[in-house]
Structure 1
């Protein structure tokens, strides 16, 4: 009996050796594991470490992970950045950030391919700049716990507005920063606007001014000054720009693409201050809630070239007038709303509302609540550029 068992064991070892030699098969197997297990698997042997660390595997793992996106919920500001992951209307897990020396008024502004972009008031010397002159921008991968603090941008008289664009390759990103220059350059003349836009590119690791934007993005809807209601879709970042008649109501949409070209999109009709931009089934969509009737209008821009809006539906919302909407996000055909009292999920295809239970208490004292979609990944916070000496091990307290 001992001899056959030895032969069987030898055959199994040979078969597994064949699988390991076929690195594409090994990569396919490993890519289905959660990131926390992949990080542990890197210590199994040199081969596994090499496979998991390769850019090809990181890209492949992301492609697999994109098949199962989920919602992340940032319900309130606590001692640490707490992110709840929601799958199938239930909370499955929670991420907690590492300790950051300065996390005053921390606000999440974007979540793309497993990287979360956060901003907070900058620290100047030993004091926090609470007057809104500057922001610190961090990129955080909650699965790998890696954090990158971006270098300081140009001085600004007003609180800057931030937007994030990804592509064309995986893990190439650009951060757009709109700021109000403290002094106009003499060559510009006094008649020129002093609003500028600069861009941080992951490929260069530095900021570069790209010129005067045709508008200045609005802050987030419900008052958090650090936030900005923007969305990246179809190679462009989109922000609301305030109406000339009412600075609290959007009047148009400002865009900038990854090639750094500005554009403008007109709104389908006069909207309210309770309006949101979301990615609904791969299309730029506009959600408008009307205070008196509590009707929710959903508009979709199906053709991003013709810029023609189509009304998807108009439905009675379950929100009361005393229930302001804190955050909104869409995933496929579902739209998740966070209010001061409820979490509500609306299915656009079925036209059904669901009140979600067993969620983080919405009545907690909170700052800058946020909802985003999330896809777990191994992506580096540095982007695709290689930095062999520094790697991706920054802790958020250094650039």
Structure 2
């Protein structure tokens, strides 16, 4: 193994799925340091095509995407609490969880490695009750960020409101006040949010009146908006944002059908293009985009917040995705493999002592294995020397 150049070993390991790499870290120290390296993790994520479907039913499970098999139950904090936690955002295969029960807790979770990072408590509890949590990746600073938006309407003056924006940086591991407060009021709870190229997008609907998509740039922390396509508003019931074929996507819901649009040139409203329309099936009241498979030419959606379905773009046939042993799927996310590790991945509230014991046990095991290998090597050299001294060929078996 030592005669193989390190760059060749690295190139071979980069071609392997994350599941194998997590096991191969224990092969030897060299492989461990290669796989744990920051550059290796970054390059593996950029070239990996392995996807997973992460969903609740009612706790989180993960299966291979497209085949929907090899299902495993994920281990994450607070999953056995009666109130549970919910996924507030997804980016680069990482999930952002929130727990609304007191004390309010937010943590990041990597389903590939099943490691997590608990965010610090907010330095100052906002005076506003409910809010909206978004999660994405800032390409400029190469930093994962969370944004927590608090808003409340003023009872004194019609149309006025108070707001507060808090931004968390994983690199700094701290919350701070955002550079800009929300310039207009919107009901965060009526829409979903998605990260597209470092900009968070919220699709909002108010009493079935179409409103622009609210955006928050994670780099300069500025708010803006993206107008919806010029579409027929009659029988309109809502809009949901997503990412489709590397473009911002919006799915418009009507009483009898769904329209799917993409913005071919981001930031240019005239580039909105309607891709297709498909009819509503029975019990498909609320649909949102999930993923587009280029290989299968299928468009995956979640509907009624309980199921996943695929739309064949050639035949327009809608098929409900059936996962073995599960009747319903809640809060589905398509997550690419990511070996990303948190600097202090062990939660400060639970599991720290257990992890230290595991690390200590692993270190003892590695030292013991090293001693055994050294002993076997010493015995082999001794036997080899004796056989050569006696004129015997050590490569000939008995």
CA contact (8 A) 1:106 1:119 kept: yes
Partner residue in 2 for 1:276:
240
Partner residue in 2 for 1:209:
177
Partner residue in 2 for 1:110:
89
**Partners of 2:186 and 2:61 in 1: how far apart?**
26
Partner residue in 2 for 1:12:
none
What secondary structure does 1:90 align onto? coil
Pair 313,361 (structure 1): closer, same or farther in 2 beyond 3 Å? farther
CA contact (8 A) 2:131 2:148 kept: yes
Show CA shifts across 1:168-220 (max 9, x none).
1796211011013799xxxxx99973112111011211111123212355445
Which of 236, 239, 263 lines up with 2:202 in the alignment?
Answer: 239
CA contact (8 A) 2:131 2:188 kept: no
* 1:157 aligned onto 2:139: no
* 1:229 aligned onto 2:192: yes
Pair 164,17 (structure 1): closer, same or farther in 2 beyond 3 Å? same
* 1:121 aligned onto 2:92: no
Displacement of 1:309 in angstroms is: 4.6
What secondary structure does 1:92 align onto? coil
Displacement of 1:254 in angstroms is: 0.8
Pair 142,191 (structure 1): closer, same or farther in 2 beyond 3 Å? closer
Partner residue in 2 for 1:7:
none
Displacement of 1:275 in angstroms is: 2.1
Pair 351,303 (structure 1): closer, same or farther in 2 beyond 3 Å? farther
CA contact (8 A) 1:171 1:379 kept: no
CA contact (8 A) 1:285 1:298 kept: yes
What secondary structure does 2:237 align onto? coil
Partner residue in 2 for 1:87:
65
Structure-to-structure mapping, 1:1-399, within 5 angstroms:
16-19=1-4, 22-65=5-48, 67-70=49-52, 72-77=53-58, 81-100=59-78, 102=81, 104-124=83-103, 135-153=104-122, 154-168=125-139, 172-180=143-151, 193-210=161-178, 211-216=180-185, 218-219=187-188, 229-243=192-206, 246=207, 249-259=209-219, 260-268=221-229, 269=231, 270=233, 272-291=236-255, 294-320=256-282, 322-325=283-286, 328-333=289-294, 334-339=298-303, 343-348=308-313, 350=314, 352-359=316-323, 369-380=330-341, 382=342, 387=343, 391-394=344-347, 397=350
Displacement of 1:329 in angstroms is: 0.6
What secondary structure does 1:59 align onto? helix
Show CA shifts across 1:72-121 (max 9, x none).
141432xxx32232432433332412352757242112222231111221
What secondary structure does 2:161 align onto? coil
Displacement of 1:141 in angstroms is: 1.2
Displacement of 1:54 in angstroms is: 1.2
What secondary structure does 2:32 align onto? helix
What secondary structure does 2:346 align onto? coil
Between Structure 1 and Structure 2, whose CA radius of gyration is higher? 2
**Partners of 1:351 and 1:156 in 2: how far apart?**
52
What secondary structure does 2:145 align onto? strand
CA contact (8 A) 1:59 1:170 kept: no
Pair 336,86 (structure 1): closer, same or farther in 2 beyond 3 Å? farther
Displacement of 1:231 in angstroms is: 0.8
Gaps of 5+ in 1: 1-15, 125-134, 184-188, 222-227
Q: TM-score, normalised by structure 2?
A: 0.74
What secondary structure does 1:57 align onto? helix
Pair 361,290 (structure 1): closer, same or farther in 2 beyond 3 Å? farther
**Relative contact order, CA 8 A, sep 6+: which one is greater?**
1
**Partners of 1:137 and 1:315 in 2: how far apart?**
38
**Partners of 2:150 and 2:35 in 1: how far apart?**
40
Q: TM-score, normalised by structure 1?
A: 0.74
**Partners of 2:347 and 2:300 in 1: how far apart?**
33
- Give the 4+ runs in structure 1 shifted more than 4 A: 189-192, 360-364
**Partners of 1:327 and 1:73 in 2: how far apart?**
16
What secondary structure does 2:39 align onto? helix
Gaps of 5+ in 2: 353-398
Alignment RMSD: 3.2
What secondary structure does 2:214 align onto? strand
